[in-house]
Amino acid sequence: MKNIAILSISFLLLTGCLKKSENKQVEVVVNDTTTIKTDPLPSWNEGKTKAAIIDYINDVTNKESANFIPELDRIATFDNDGTLWSEQPACFQLFFAIDRIKTMAPEHPEWKNTQPFKAVLEDDMKTLIASGEKRLMKLVMTTHAGMTTDEFEQIVTDWLKTASHPRFDKPFNELVYQPMLELLDYLRANNFKTFIVSGGGIEFMRPWVEDVYGILKDQVVGSSIATEFDYNNGNPVIKRLPELDFIDDKTGKPVGINRFIGRKPVFAAGNSDGDLQMMQWTDSNTYKSFQLYLHHTDADREWAYDRESHIGQFNKGLDEALEKEWTIIDMKNDWKTIYPFQKE
CB of 193 to a copy of itself, least distance (A): 8
Q: Which stretch binds a copy of itself (CB under 8 A): 86-94, 172-180, 266-274, 276-284?
A: 276-284
Torsion angles phi and psi, residue 342, rounded to 5: -100, 0
Q: Which of 88, 104, 29, 136 lies closest to 309 in space, CA to CA?
A: 88
Tell me the CA distances in angstroms from 235 to 89, 207, 238, one per residue in order.
41, 22, 10
The Cα 226–Cα 118 span in angstroms is: 27
314 near a copy of itself, judged by CB under 8 A: no
The Cα 331–Cα 296 span in angstroms is: 6
Tell me, by CB under 8 A, how many residues bind a copy of itself. 36
Taking the least distance from each CB to a copy of itself, the nearer of 122 and 230 is 230
Tell me the CA distances in angstroms from 179 to 22, 199, 220, 246, 257, one per residue in order.
21, 21, 20, 30, 24
Q: Which stretch binds a copy of itself (CB under 8 A): 21-29, 94-102, 127-135, 211-219?
A: 211-219
| Sole binder of a copy of itself in the list 58, 227, 297, 309 (CB under 8 A) | 227
Q: Which stretch binds a copy of itself (CB under 8 A): 83-91, 136-144, 175-183, 210-218?
A: 210-218
Q: Which stretch binds a copy of itself (CB under 8 A): 25-33, 42-50, 102-110, 229-237?
A: 229-237
45 near a copy of itself, judged by CB under 8 A: no
If one counts every other C-beta atom within 10 angstroms of the C-beta of residue 140, the result is 22
| Sole binder of a copy of itself in the list 60, 94, 128, 202 (CB under 8 A) | 202
220 near a copy of itself, judged by CB under 8 A: yes
Residue 5, class by beta-carbon neighbours within 10 Å (0-12 exposed, 13-18 middle, 19+ buried)? middle
DSSP code of residue 45:
P
The Cα 247–Cα 163 span in angstroms is: 26
Taking the least distance from each CB to a copy of itself, the nearer of 116 and 254 is 254
CB of 234 to a copy of itself, least distance (A): 8
Q: For binding to a copy of itself (CB under 8 A), which residues are involved?
A: 72, 149, 193, 202-203, 206, 210, 216-220, 224, 227-229, 231, 234-236, 238, 251-255, 258-263, 277, 280-281, 284
